[in-house]
């Protein structure tokens, strides 16, 4: 009992003394004290069940933050709500951006102070695609809690019925097994598809799958200066390969625009395979709890140079916000630089590995102190949400997870590319696929048109 009392007393002493550590040397101890409230916007996650424990732990470590509030928005209206809030000066301090949104939001956010998070620490913590998407020569603009990449969903019962013992790990095997799993009716209609691929509008994330095939084919897609798209031979091969699944007479015909949407066809059992992200695992389970299906790594062209495709979100910090400062004589007024500092300090705590302590930096004085902690916010978040990790050390832990393993391992080899307007790019690539499907353009013509249209956005 005596040891417990001593421990509690020591914790209270450290907690009460923490502000004094930063304020030592000042003529008036309270003159450098401040409180920063943080408002966070996101989608998908609920505040109470997902972030409450994380926020509670952080507030126990940092006496210079006040209220931390997370608000959940719907994905459909999120971007518009965010832009409206920015226009009015009432934007959140921290908000999620998609990994393709940095070109659009770069002038509206501020990078991490190098004293809080530097390039080496970022690269050591996160998978390579995060650095490609959220970092440039000017700084680190966002940090992810989770990264998602494509995997192969397959119907185990349909595989078993054909004596197929395992999902394919290369595209030649994929086509062979998909043909074996495809059933045609007497009138030539597709009764059961071996794979939901080939079209633009009834295949979920069709343009991401095309992007995957482009990267696997060896195209970089974007030039080194991120100023021009170049669809080369690898991209032509990718579009040719993708559209063959909906081309009658191709030898791989098994899908068309009249089929049910790919996710629906898969859970209904009329599509034996589909490519998709981890977030649709629960979609399938909720639609058909009895469906016997598995998830496997994405097929590759080359085992020596494996490539996947990423689609995910990261937290950024708003550049400006109308601040409401306290009138308390005990606290100094918070300026925008202090707000940004504390926002980024929270994001570092939230996303990076702390190695048993957290470096707390006082925004006004610049003094720092290592605060012991055994709590890992990112690990806590991933355990609650069943999402694949963005952090390298947590991917290592997820490699043995029967569900997360293909996605987590896929994050290590995932790529994406700089898009001047992601919504427009998606529309343009979908129209390229559809023009080939309709026979109104050859593969080469469709890509030349898409390349020209996308490059117009770089010139704006």
The tokens describing 3, both together, are: 């040891």
Q: Distance between the two ends of the chain, CA-based, in angstroms?
A: 70
**Mean pLDDT along residues 180-198:** 97
What is the signed CA dihedral for 171, 173, 174, 176, rounded to 10 degrees? 130
Instruction: Report pLDDT digits (tens) over 150-168.
Output: 999 999 999 999 999 999 9
pLDDT of 146 = 98
Is the pTM higher than 0.85?
Answer: yes
| In contact, 257 and 178? CB cutoff 8 Å | no
What burial class does residue 298 get, using C-beta atoms within 10 Å of its C-beta: 0-12 exposed, 13-18 middle, 19+ buried? buried
Distance, CA of 283 to CA of 278 (rounded, Å): 10
| In contact, 117 and 64? CB cutoff 8 Å | no
Distance, CA of 181 to CA of 236 (rounded, Å): 27
Please, which pLDDT band fits residue 243 given cuts at 50, 70 and 90? very high
Ordered domains of the chain (ranges, CATH)? 33-147+312-385 (3.40.190.10), 152-309+420-458 (3.40.190.10)
Instruction: Report pLDDT digits (tens) over 401-449.
Output: 999 999 999 999 999 999 999 999 999 999 999 999 999 999 999 999 9
Query: In the beta sheet, which residues pair with residue 402?
Result: none
pLDDT of 3 = 40
pLDDT of 31 = 55
């Amino acid at each position: 009992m005596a040891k417990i009392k001593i421990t509690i007393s020591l914790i209270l002493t450290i907690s009460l003394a923490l502000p004094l550590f930063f304020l030592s040397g000042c003529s008036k101890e309270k003159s450098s004290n401040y409180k920063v409230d943080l408002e966070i916007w996101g989608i998908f996650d609920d505040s109470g069940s997902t972030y409450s424990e994380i926020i509670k732990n952080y507030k126990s470590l940092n006496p210079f933050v006040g209220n931390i509030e997370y608000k959940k928005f719907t994905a459909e209206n999120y971007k518009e709500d965010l832009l409206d809030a920015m226009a009015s000066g009432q934007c959140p301090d921290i908000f999620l951006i998609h990994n393709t949104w940095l070109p659009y939001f770069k002038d509206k956010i501020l990078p991490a102070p190098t004293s809080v998070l530097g390039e080496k620490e970022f690269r050591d913590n996160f998978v390579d695609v995060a650095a490609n998407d959220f970092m440039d020569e000017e700084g680190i603009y966002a940090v992810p809690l989770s990264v998602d990449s494509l995997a192969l969903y397959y119907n185990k019962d349909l595989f078993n019925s054909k004596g197929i013992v395992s999902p394919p790990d290369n595209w030649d095997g994929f086509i062979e097994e998909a043909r074996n799993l495809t059933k045609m009716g007497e009138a030539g209609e597709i009764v059961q598809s071996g794979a939901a691929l080939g079209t633009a509008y009834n295949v979920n994330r069709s343009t991401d799958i095309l992007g995957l095939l482009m990267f696997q084919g060896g195209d970089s897609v974007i030039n080194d200066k991120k100023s021009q798209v170049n669809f080369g031979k690898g991209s032509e091969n990718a579009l040719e390969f993708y559209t063959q699944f909906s081309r009658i007479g191709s030898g791989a015909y098994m899908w068309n625009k009249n089929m049910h949407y790919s996710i629906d066809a898969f859970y209904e059992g009329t599509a034996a395979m589909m490519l998709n992200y981890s977030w649709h695992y629960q979609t399938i389970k909720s639609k058909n709890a009895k469906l016997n299906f598995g998830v496997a790594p994405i097929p590759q062209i080359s085992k020596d140079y494996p490539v996947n495709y990423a689609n995910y979100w990261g937290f950024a910090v708003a550049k400006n916000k109308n601040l409401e400062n306290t009138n308390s004589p005990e606290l100094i007024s918070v300026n925008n630089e202090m707000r940004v500092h504390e926002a980024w300090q929270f994001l570092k705590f939230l996303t990076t590995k702390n190695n048993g302590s957290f470096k707390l930096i006082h925004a006004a004085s610049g003094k720092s102190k290592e605060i012991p902690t055994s709590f890992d916010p990112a690990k806590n978040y991933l355990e609650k949400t069943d999402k694949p990790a963005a952090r390298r050390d947590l991917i290592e832990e997820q490699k043995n997870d029967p569900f997360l393993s293909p996605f987590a391992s896929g994050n290590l080899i995932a790529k994406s590319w700089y898009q001047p307007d992601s919504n427009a790019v998606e529309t343009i690539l979908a129209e390229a696929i559809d023009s080939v499907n309709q026979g109104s353009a050859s593969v080469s013509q469709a890509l030349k048109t898409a390349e020209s249209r996308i490059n117009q956005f770089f010139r704006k």
